[in-house]
Amino acid sequence: TIGQNVGANDRIHAQYYVYKGKAALSACPVLPRFTKLNNGALKVDRPGAMMLTFSPAVAERKYDWARKQLFALSVTEVGSLITLGTKDSCEFFHDPSIRTSAAGQVRKSLSVKPLMDCSGYFISLNVVNNALQTNERLTVPITSAEFAVMCTTFRFALPILMGWDRYNNSQPLLLNVGVTTAKLD
Amino acid sequence: TIGQNVGANDRIHAQYYVYKGKAALSACPVLPRFTKLNNGALKVDRPGAMMLTFSPAVAERKYDWARKQLFALSVTEVGSLITLGTKDSCEFFHDPSIRTSAAGQVRKSLSVKPLMDCSGYFISLNVVNNALQTNERLTVPITSAEFAVMCTTFRFALPILMGWDRYNNSQPLLLNVGVTTAKLD
Amino acid sequence: TIGQNVGANDRIHAQYYVYKGKAALSACPVLPRFTKLNNGALKVDRPGAMMLTFSPAVAERKYDWARKQLFALSVTEVGSLITLGTKDSCEFFHDPSIRTSAAGQVRKSLSVKPLMDCSGYFISLNVVNNALQTNERLTVPITSAEFAVMCTTFRFALPILMGWDRYNNSQPLLLNVGVTTAKLD
Amino acid sequence: TIGQNVGANDRIHAQYYVYKGKAALSACPVLPRFTKLNNGALKVDRPGAMMLTFSPAVAERKYDWARKQLFALSVTEVGSLITLGTKDSCEFFHDPSIRTSAAGQVRKSLSVKPLMDCSGYFISLNVVNNALQTNERLTVPITSAEFAVMCTTFRFALPILMGWDRYNNSQPLLLNVGVTTAKLD
């Protein structure tokens, strides 16, 4: 899994869970990674993501989390989800090994498609692993209420994924006598 | 009432009150409950809820809070409310004793129905108690302005109910030299 | 002016200003007032408000702030504003001396009416003072961009006016062994 | 660049980047500047802005940040952007030397125009420098997903640009016995 350096990302475990007949879906923010500059400033080194986790059902209300599949929505993919109209669909493609020699071995695609009566969406994760010769598809139907929870909390999380929550209540920039401040434009 | 362990949940008393002719309605967030893991991380043990409290009027501008009835909206039920169109209605059913031997003795239902002219909603709580042989219904008409306050503040509260506010301004995850961080997908 | 006990409310001066030909309008949140209970908990004693201040123009880009008129939008009145459609209007009436012997002497009304082409609103404050035999009307035309700033920041401010921002990142409620926690419903 | 007094504004480096064929666009909040009053209160001296930075492409996925051009959206211009309908366009004009002797030498205009199929916008910055006799235009096509990220995070940032985030969780205003507090209206 991700964010494993010094365990800093593991301090909070807070997921939104949706349990359905054939699979469960959970979502949680993955925090951005920063570098500390020489002057002490924090710079976003890698933006965060919204991690979706799918687990197949093995019995009624039992899910096999060991067989979970992950899909990390980028900031812009989150933007795509939160503007989805009730009749719209979208699809994202990821290659976990992109720009390495293993590129193309595993292909993941996440699709979001409206239910027939537009009362929600099917969210499906398809993972094709050429090395293991496996092809898994996990689908979770989402009600509009569950989608509203996702959109609302994903909107809340977007600034966090981008590191913008750190501008909030940061040390106030004070006007100092004798110091010229550059103009905005 | 709820959240009574060590009184931690009782530090803030902040409700949104709506006083009407036959009953008063108030709303406030109930914080999630966490467990502390061995590594010091916080894990959501039970998500929070949006507590609705109904009290019957006993005189003009007087309400009998001793006869109050509670209904704790789950995160997904809040999601249902905040996407309600002006002509939509919804209804939720709770059994306070679900999965105990007393299951079915008390049945609560909350219904939200549009006013005739779509200028707001009737919010009704019906509590049927088979043990006490009582059947109470408390109804509060809500204007669209009051509903807008609820939706706006319920959207604000959703990440808090889920524990996601703790990701906000949490300790920054720093890139450390010599530490490999796993990839996102 | 308001919130003058121990000056606590005066620590932040941050207003949104709109300067127009005949008057200027500014808006800023007024924080709620709390009481401290014996157990140390904070309880909202009086909800906050969104203070609107109107000042008449006395010359080009000059406004007479000494002749300012105030109107404190309640939480529910803010709810009314933030759901206003582009063709909708609303009006609020306040009596600063309500429930005192001076009731009725001063009547304030704030009206929000769409511009002819629905590209914004006229916001007018009318103050009739029977004691001073004065009748003042201050009107500020607001563009849809300015109204969007107001709605967005008023939505941000609503939980603060209600004291709900204090639930945010409050001390986590921990599950303790051997302590029974009451159920939610 | 801006906010250079005591480097206080440089503690956080968190931008939203959009890389396209002919140019890259990035956005980040510029914090407001405060003055400290004699009583210790903080007063917004200059509101913040949303800084847009455009850089021309010099090769595939390479951008010349040395030739970047800046445009600082005011709070109200941000309000204009976040209410833009899918078929709407808007344009803003800035003169970096306004109210100085160099006024009119440099003219900047930012235009936002819908793509033909309304699936996003062209964002163009045009900078005409009469002194250098240059005329540069940098255009970045933006998808609706990217625009949604901008709108969501710009909405989040608006209260920060106005200094309103400092009302959040500020020291609670307590009701004190024997202290009269003025009324709201």
State pLDDT tens for residues A149-179: 999 999 999 999 999 999 998 888 887 755 5
Residues in B closer than 8 angstroms to A11, CB to CB, are: 40-42, 170-171
Question: Could you tell me what percent of chain A has a pLDDT over 90?
Answer: 77
| For range B84-95, the mean pLDDT | 96
Of the ranges B2-16, B58-72, C120-134, which one carries the lowest mean pLDDT score? B2-16
The CA-based dihedral angle spanning residues D33, A179, C62, D30, taken in that order and rounded to the nearest 10 degrees: -30
- pLDDT of A122 above 50: yes
Contacts with C88 (C-beta within 8 Å, 6 or more apart), sequence order: C114
Q: What pLDDT is stored for residue A32 in this prediction? A: 95
Cβ separation of A8 and B174 shorter than 8 Å?
yes
pLDDT digits (tens, 9 = 90+) for D95-153: 999 989 999 999 999 999 999 999 999 999 999 999 999 999 999 999 999 999 999 99
Q: What pLDDT is stored for residue D3 in this prediction? A: 36
Give, rounded to a whole angstrom, the gap between the first and last alpha carbons of chain D.
43
Residues of chain C with pLDDT under 50: 1-9
Q: What pLDDT is stored for residue A183 in this prediction? A: 65
SS3 letters across chain D: CCCCHHHHHHCEECCEEEECCCEEEEEEEECCEEEECCCCCEEEEECCEEEEEEEEEEECCEECHHHCEEEEECHHHHHHHHCCCCCCCEEEEECCCCCCCCCCCEEEEEEEEECCCCCEEEEEEEEEECCCCEEEEEEEEEEHHHHHHHHHHHHHHHHHHCCHHHHCCCCCEECCCCCCCCCCC
The number of CA neighbours under 13 Å toward the Cβ of C5 is: 18
Neighbours of B21 (CB within 10 A): 11
Q: What pLDDT is stored for residue B185 in this prediction? A: 72
Using CB atoms, pick whichever of C167, C171, C175 lies closest to residue B160: C167
Sole residue written with tokens 């006007």: A175
| CA pair distance C63, C22, nearest whole angstrom | 9
CA angle D42, D45, D51 (to 5 degrees): 115
Cβ separation of C162 and B6 shorter than 8 Å?
no
On whether the CB atoms of residues A180 and D10 are closer than 8 A, the answer is no
| CA pair distance C60, C65, nearest whole angstrom | 14
Q: In this structure, which amino acid lies at residue D2? A: I
CA C66 to chain CA mean position, Å? 20
Cβ separation of A173 and D42 shorter than 8 Å?
no
pLDDT digits (tens, 9 = 90+) for D41-65: 999 999 999 999 999 999 998 999 9
Q: Which long-range contacts (CB under 8 A, 24 or more apart) does A14-18 make?
A: A14/B32, A14/B42, A14/B43, A14/B44, A14/B162, A14/B163, A14/B164, A14/B166, A14/B167, A15/A53, A15/B44, A16/A149, A16/A150, A16/A153, A16/B75, A16/B162, A18/A140, A18/A142, A18/A146
From the CA of A179, how many Å to the nearest CA of chain B?
Answer: 30
Q: To probe the interface with A, which of D4, D5, D31 has the most A CB atoms within 10 Å? A: D5
pLDDT tier at B170 (50, 70, 90 boundaries)? Answer: confident
Residues in C closer than 8 angstroms to B72, CB to CB, are: 184-185
Interstrand relation of D42-46 and C12-13 (parallel, antiparallel or unpaired) = parallel
- pLDDT of B3 above 80: no
| CA pair distance C27, C68, nearest whole angstrom | 13
- pLDDT of D5 above 50: no
| CA pair distance D159, C16, nearest whole angstrom | 10
Contacts with A103 (C-beta within 8 Å, 6 or more apart), sequence order: A95, A97
Q: To probe the interface with D, which of C16, C17, C98, C105 has the most D CB atoms within 10 Å? A: C16
Top pLDDT among C1 and A57 is at A57
On whether the CB atoms of residues D135 and D105 are closer than 8 A, the answer is no
Top pLDDT among B40 and A22 is at A22
Q: What pLDDT is stored for residue D182 in this prediction? A: 57
- Which residues sit opposite B93 in a β-bridge? B109
Q: What pLDDT is stored for residue B8 in this prediction? A: 44
Phi-psi region of C163 (alpha: psi -120 to 50; beta: other; left: phi over 0): left
| For range D166-174, the mean pLDDT | 87
Contacts with B4 (C-beta within 8 Å, 6 or more apart), sequence order: B10, C181, C182
- pLDDT of D178 above 80: no
Cβ separation of D13 and A43 shorter than 8 Å?
yes
Q: Is B15 helix (H, G, I), strand (E, B) or coil?
A: coil
Q: What pLDDT is stored for residue C8 in this prediction? A: 45
Residues in D closer than 8 angstroms to A158, CB to CB, are: 149, 152-153, 156
Cβ separation of D143 and A76 shorter than 8 Å?
yes
Q: What pLDDT is stored for residue C77 in this prediction? A: 98
- pLDDT of B177 above 60: no
| CA pair distance B17, A114, nearest whole angstrom | 37
| CA pair distance B126, B21, nearest whole angstrom | 17
Neighbours of B12 (CB within 10 A): 22
Residues in A closer than 8 angstroms to D99, CB to CB, are: none
Of the ranges B92-96, C38-42, D71-75, which one carries the lowest mean pLDDT score? C38-42
Of the ranges B106-120, C5-19, D16-30, D80-94, which one carries the lowest mean pLDDT score? C5-19
Return the DSSP state at A171.
Answer: P
Top pLDDT among B27 and B170 is at B27
Cβ separation of D184 and C49 shorter than 8 Å?
yes
pLDDT tier at D177 (50, 70, 90 boundaries)? Answer: low
Of B89, B163, B151, nearest to B122 by C-alpha is B89
Of the ranges B157-161, C148-152, D75-79, D170-174, which one carries the lowest mean pLDDT score? D170-174
On whether the CB atoms of residues A74 and A89 are closer than 8 A, the answer is no
Q: What pLDDT is stored for residue A2 in this prediction? A: 39
Residues in C closer than 8 angstroms to D80, CB to CB, are: 143-145, 148
Q: What pLDDT is stored for residue B181 in this prediction? A: 56
Q: For residue A66, with 0-12 CB atoms within 10 Å meaning exposed, 13-18 middle and 19 or more buried, which class applies?
A: exposed
Q: What pLDDT is stored for residue C40 in this prediction? A: 85
Interstrand relation of D42-46 and D33-36 (parallel, antiparallel or unpaired) = antiparallel
Contacts with D99 (C-beta within 8 Å, 6 or more apart), sequence order: none
On whether the CB atoms of residues D48 and D161 are closer than 8 A, the answer is yes
From the CA of D92, how many Å to the nearest CA of chain A?
Answer: 13
On whether the CB atoms of residues C107 and C93 are closer than 8 A, the answer is yes
Q: Is B35 helix (H, G, I), strand (E, B) or coil?
A: strand
The CA-based dihedral angle spanning residues D160, D162, D163, D166, taken in that order and rounded to the nearest 10 degrees: -70
The CA distances from residue C65 to B34, C69, C107, in Å, are 51, 9, 20
Assigned token pair, D141: 């096509």
| For range D163-168, the mean pLDDT | 94
| CA pair distance B98, B103, nearest whole angstrom | 5
Q: What pLDDT is stored for residue B184 in this prediction? A: 72
Phi-psi region of C61 (alpha: psi -120 to 50; beta: other; left: phi over 0): left
Q: What pLDDT is stored for residue A10 in this prediction? A: 58
| For range A100-111, the mean pLDDT | 94
Of the ranges A135-139, B25-29, C15-19, D4-8, which one carries the lowest mean pLDDT score? D4-8
- Which residues sit opposite D93 in a β-bridge? D109
From the CA of A92, how many Å to the nearest CA of chain B?
Answer: 13
Highest mean predicted confidence (pLDDT) among B167-181, D49-63, D160-174: D49-63
C94-120 in b/e form (b: 16+ CB < 10 A) is bebbeeeeeeeebbbebbbebeeeeeb
Neighbours of B55 (CB within 10 A): 21
Return the DSSP state at C121.
Answer: E
Q: To probe the interface with B, which of A118, A156, A165 has the most B CB atoms within 10 Å? A: A156
The number of CA neighbours under 13 Å toward the Cβ of C86 is: 11
Return the DSSP state at B20.
Answer: -
Contacts with B178 (C-beta within 8 Å, 6 or more apart), sequence order: none
Sheet with D106-114: list strands edge to edge. D90-94, D106-114, D120-129, D134-143
Q: What number of residues does chain B have?
A: 185
Q: What pLDDT is stored for residue A9 in this prediction? A: 45
Q: What pLDDT is stored for residue C166 in this prediction? A: 94
Q: What pLDDT is stored for residue B23 in this prediction? A: 97
Q: Which long-range contacts (CB under 8 A, 24 or more apart) does C7-11 make?
A: C7/D39, C7/D41, C8/D171, C8/D172, C8/D173, C8/D174, C9/D173, C10/D39, C10/D41, C11/D40, C11/D41, C11/D42, C11/D170, C11/D171
From the CA of B62, how many Å to the nearest CA of chain C?
Answer: 17
- pLDDT of B147 above 80: yes
Instruction: Give the nearest chain B residue to A146 (CA atoms).
Output: B76
In chain C, the domains with their CATH numbers are 5-167 (2.30.31.10)
- pLDDT of A38 above 80: yes
Q: What pLDDT is stored for residue A11 in this prediction? A: 86
